[in-house]
Amino acid sequence: MEITPLCIGNRCAKLPIVQGGMGVGISLSGLAGAVAAAGGIGTISGVEIGFNWPGYRRSRRNANREAMLWHLAEARRIAPEGVIGVNIMVALTDYEQTVAAAIDGGADIIFSGAGLPLSLPALAEGSDVKLVPIISSAKAASLLVRNWRQKHGRTPDGFVLEGPLAGGHLGFTREQIEQAHGDYALEKLLAEVLAELDRIEARVPVIAGGGLYHGSEAARLLAMGASGVQIGTRFVTTKECDAPAAFKQAYLDASEEDIVIIQSPVGMPGRALSSEFIKSVQLGEKNPTGCMANCIKSCGRQAAPYCIAQALMNAAKGNLKDGFTFVGSRVHLADTIVPVKDLMENLHREIADFQLPEGIDMI
Ligand SMILES: Cc1cc2nc3c(=O)[nH]c(=O)nc-3n(C[C@H](O)[C@H](O)[C@H](O)COP(=O)(O)O)c2cc1C
């Protein structure tokens, strides 16, 4: 199929591939810069980005801001012409400060999910940064377009539609996740979102993701009308991914049976790899250990059996005994660590080689 660049406003990437933001510390400047340099959109995760920055214990806010500015400059150094985004969860207690730091650091795009980014246009006012909410339904797309038009006189510059097969926190109930190949299949959700955006005359690019591994799967979604695809898990097993070796090894060792849906302390289900840590939480053996960062608005920190910030930071430092790894539903396919450039070329070739059946130019 013919490959069309992905343009979010005036920011265009040669390949319609967005590397999904992965926190804590999994997609920083190393991965995002490499993806942007290879022609895709690279995304830095904004969640506790300063977790290993000097002075983090003393002042999280300062460390997070300094780290954000540094990682954006570093990604730009790696990919001077590339498109660099930052992923910022609406549920962060430091949402406003994180958005400000991303703008000050010169991010091209802010991707924002885990809640509805209703205040984002006001926070970005006066800047040229492109705003792309992450959604999981046509209803959310519609609500955001209407709200932003009414309150801020603008529409989102695009949407990421994340289906229930994705890694990390999921915007679906457990029952909906069970129907990931039925009523809540990404293809079905995509058709609904595109139809709704058409209906309300907000034809902005939609980037679809969650459970994609091969270029042919990406191509199918592009042929259905997606302007781009978002991929997370597959980028973890790359040379440039910022995750430590133990984290990448857990991906290489994973089998399909190891993938579990957990109930995260922040009140959402999440897809993760089973581990001794996860098993002891499920058995009720973990007790609240205190909140170290007060990072997520919706966190049930009083009753939570563990601090998710601490667990994810431990994993990001390679200590998987006291943490866990979020994964997408195709993690078991990972079997080798490759340079980002090779992976992008591979995906590019697979998309280009994809053929629609004779006589059909769109699914
Ligand atoms: C380790 C990991 C961490 C993630 N962290 C975040 C995050 O902080 N914020 C977010 O919006 N999405 C997060 N995600 C979701 C990804 O951005 C992406 O949308 C998703 O992984 C796509 O599905 P795939 O992994 O099957 O390709 C995470 C995913 C993984 C695997």
C-alpha gyration radius of the chain:
19
State both tokens at 230: 């978002």
| Structural domain range at position 271 | 247-322
Tell me, yes or no, whether 221 and 343 share the same domain: yes
Looking at the fold, whether 60 and 147 belong to one and the same domain comes out as: yes
Q: Are residues 179 and 269 in the same domain?
A: no
Q: Are residues 88 and 152 in the same domain?
A: yes
What does the pLDDT read at residue 294?
A: 79
Does 8 reside within a domain?
A: no
Assigned domain for 223 exists: yes
Among protein residues, the one with the nearest Cα to ligand 1's atom 6 is 22
Nearest alpha carbon, ligand 1 atom 8: 23
Could you tell me the strand order of the sheet in which 168-169 lies? 168-169, 269-273, 259-263
* Count of domains forming the chain: 2
Q: Specify whether 75 is located in the same domain as 163.
A: yes
Which CATH number do you get for residue 227?
A: 3.20.20.70
Residues 29 and 129 in one domain: yes
Cα 270 to averaged position of ligand 1 atoms, centre (Å): 10
Indicate whether 154 and 281 sit together in one domain.
Answer: no
* 7 belongs to a structural domain: no
CA-325 nearest atom, ligand 1: 1
57 in the same domain as 44: yes
CB 329 within 8 A of CB 271: yes
Q: Is residue 96 located within the same domain as residue 216?
A: yes
327, part of any domain: no
End-to-end CA distance of the chain: 12
Domain membership flag for residue 359:
no
If one residue of 89, 233, 325 were mutated to test the ligand 1 pocket, choosing by the most ligand atoms within 8 A of its CB, it would be 233
The SS3 assignment for 112 reads strand
Separation of CA 168 and ligand 1 centre (Å): 5
What is the model's pTM? 0.96
Q: Residue whose CA is closest, atom 17 of ligand 1?
A: 20
Q: Does 361 map to a domain?
A: no
Dist. CA 6 → ligand 1 center (Å): 20
| Atom number of ligand 1 nearest to Cα 20 | 17
Amino acid 99: pLDDT? 98
Domain contains 48: yes
Query: How much is the pLDDT for 310?
Result: 87
Ligand 1: nearest atom to the Cα of 213:
27
16, 85, 96, 238, 355 from 11: Cα distances, Å: 12, 10, 23, 25, 28
Cα(136) to ligand 1 centroid in Å equals 13
Whether 292 and 347 map to the same domain: the answer is no
Give the distance (Å) from ligand 1 centre to CA of residue 210: 8
Same domain flag for 60 and 169: yes
Compute, in angstroms, the gap from residue 301 CA to the centroid of ligand 1: 23
Q: How far is the CA of 233 from the centre of ligand 1 (A)?
A: 7
- Verify that 129 and 274 share a domain, yes or no: no
Query: Residue-wise pLDDT tens for the chain (363 aa)?
Result: 999 999 999 999 999 999 999 999 999 999 999 999 999 999 999 999 999 999 998 999 999 999 999 999 999 999 999 999 999 999 888 999 999 999 999 999 999 999 999 999 999 999 999 999 999 999 999 999 999 999 999 999 999 999 999 999 999 999 999 999 999 999 999 999 999 999 999 999 999 999 999 999 999 999 999 999 999 999 999 999 999 999 999 999 999 999 999 988 878 899 999 999 988 888 877 766 777 777 888 777 777 778 888 889 999 999 999 999 999 999 999 999 999 999 999 999 999 999 877 766 666
Position 287 scores a pLDDT of: 64
Query: Which ranges constitute the DSSP H helices of the chain?
Result: 29-37, 60-78, 95-104, 120-123, 138-152, 174-178, 186-199, 215-224, 233-236, 245-253, 276-282, 308-316, 340-353
Backbone angles phi, psi at 214, to 5 degrees: -105, 155
- pLDDT recorded at residue 303: 73
Tell the residue number behind the tokens 């849906």, with chain if given.
261
**Does 329 fall in a domain?**
no
Tell me which residues have their CB closer than 6 angstroms to ligand 1.
20-23, 26, 45, 47, 87, 89, 113-114, 134, 162, 165-168, 209-212, 230-233, 326-330
- What's the angle, vertex CA 261, arms to CA 226 and CA 230, rounded to 5? 20
**212 Cα to the center of ligand 1, angstroms:** 12
